A and B are shown apart, each in its own frame.
Chain A
């Protein structure tokens, strides 16, 4: 599978790159926990805290800003606390960036790669609002927070948990518990136009401020790929980081230092581009027809 992925990009003149797994800073996403360790740089006495990447997106964007052109990477990523049937704290990501593409054009390429690897027919394309309406009969933009919380409880969330969730959290739950199971029968589905509250690193649509230019590919209900028409505005990026940190503080999560090197690269200028990350372990699971990530890992975390 790795050889076929590399061939796919070689044929399209996308350069393979490697960026560090260890970094002086990390993502601020409120719901991601980075692993960290200490490192003593040469000729220095004091130890420095370094983070294991949760994805290579920041480093790859710095390469793009330096004029790398289209690039891809297959690397390890780490997310603390994530272990289960579909998660291992150490996992493999395929990530690639296309200068000059928007999210729609990149969706075509994701479909071409994944459809080819898994030998799947054409993906169904839907917006986030359409999948919600189809699968759970709710409008994710118009529905009030209390209606969403009620829907979450109907789908099996404990009432105490629902009472503490914000709107984005309710949407996350309804998506996991209501939408994903309903998509199991639909094979490949590409979902776009996520709510702006879940933009992450995507730009907000200039045509509709409620939606972000973000997409996901789900295969048999499994979240396989997540892509963005990338945010390139350094000011907007900094304010999202700061908002994330405020949320992290409220949740009692660690507050890592901002990635000033990424911000400087955005300042310098990130070419207009789209990028996407694909979970390689899940790709293997789907190809092998198994439903536990441990079946595609040589040594999962409990035996690592």
Chain B
């Protein structure tokens, strides 16, 4: 595997630290006037999401991580793995529950997700920022109540539970922001 020197530890570069792929968030030279030079980096572990700092001395090298970010189409889940396909090459990738994590509750067949591949295998899956999903279970709608601002829980077809306005009925289709998990709007069939 390729290695890089301290001068190449730039923001955005992906490297291996303690056997995990990491992305550099900040990089700075640390050097007492006449003393030994060091490079201090702040990095995010791409598997766990944790942000840490580490320092290396000048002249050392670090292994590069073969990490790419790509858009893959979600196909189906088989109970153990979530299967994705590269829409250009039709190449398929399967992601385990650790890689899919919280994204699982937003995944709908055909949606395109941002997937990070490490050595060709998915390590993180990010759902689209907005998803359009059907409400499969919620309390009956309160007719005409579009102004009170009250909410109720609704279960969506993917299993996610979001707070929706009181007027929504079971079977309706809504738009949700997956970054906040919040209801955005009602989608009329055909709007999508």
CB–CB B28/A164 < 8 A: no
How far in angstroms is the closest Cβ of chain B from A250? Answer: 11
CB–CB A82/B60 < 8 A: no
CB–CB A156/B53 < 8 A: yes
Contacts of B34 in A (CB 8 A): 29, 31-32, 198, 200, 226
How far in angstroms is the closest Cβ of chain A from B104? Answer: 35
Given contacts A31-B35, A172-B35, contact A83 B60 (CB under 8 A): no
B32 within 8 A of A: yes
Q: How distant is the Cα of A83 from the Cα of B55 in the complex, in angstroms?
A: 16
Contacts of A198 in B (CB 8 A): 34-35
Given contacts A160-B60, A172-B32, contact A82 B55 (CB under 8 A): no
CB–CB A164/B36 < 8 A: no
CB–CB A165/B57 < 8 A: yes
Contacts of B70 in A (CB 8 A): none
Query: B28-55 CB contact bits vs A (8 Å, 1 = yes)?
Result: 1111111111101000000000000111
A111 within 8 A of B: no
CB–CB A173/B38 < 8 A: yes
Contacts of A32 in B (CB 8 A): 34
How far in angstroms is the closest Cβ of chain A from B29? Answer: 3
- Chain A 187-226 residues near chain B, CB threshold 8 A: 198, 200, 216, 223, 226
Q: How distant is the Cα of A82 from the Cα of B6 in the complex, in angstroms?
A: 12
- Chain A 245-268 residues near chain B, CB threshold 8 A: 251-252
A182 within 8 A of B: no
A303 within 8 A of B: no
Instruction: Classify chain B's interface size.
Output: 20 to 34
B185 within 8 A of A: no
CB–CB B40/A156 < 8 A: yes
Q: How distant is the Cα of A29 from the Cα of B31 in the complex, in angstroms?
A: 13
CB–CB B36/A223 < 8 A: no
How far in angstroms is the closest Cβ of chain A from B51? Answer: 13
Q: Which residue of A84, A156, A216 is within 8 Å of B29 (Cβ)? A: A84
How far in angstroms is the closest Cβ of chain B from A185? Answer: 19
CB–CB A84/B36 < 8 A: no
Q: How distant is the Cα of A32 from the Cα of B32 in the complex, in angstroms?
A: 11
CB–CB A175/B32 < 8 A: yes
A152 nearest in chain B by CB position: B55
Contacts of A164 in B (CB 8 A): 57, 60
Q: How distant is the Cα of A83 from the Cα of B34 in the complex, in angstroms?
A: 15
Q: Spell out A's residues near B (CB within 8 Å).
A: 29, 31-32, 81-87, 155-158, 160-161, 164-165, 168-169, 172-173, 175-177, 198, 200, 216, 223, 226, 251-252
Given A31-B35, A81-B58, 12 extra CB contacts under 8 A: A81-B37, A86-B29, A156-B53, A158-B17, A160-B56, A165-B36, A175-B32, A176-B31, A177-B30, A200-B34, A226-B33, A251-B59
Q: List 25 A-B contacts (CB under 8 A).
A: A31-B34, A31-B35, A31-B37, A83-B29, A84-B29, A86-B29, A87-B31, A156-B40, A157-B56, A157-B57, A158-B17, A158-B56, A161-B38, A161-B55, A161-B57, A168-B35, A169-B35, A169-B57, A172-B36, A176-B32, A176-B38, A177-B30, A198-B34, A223-B32, A251-B59
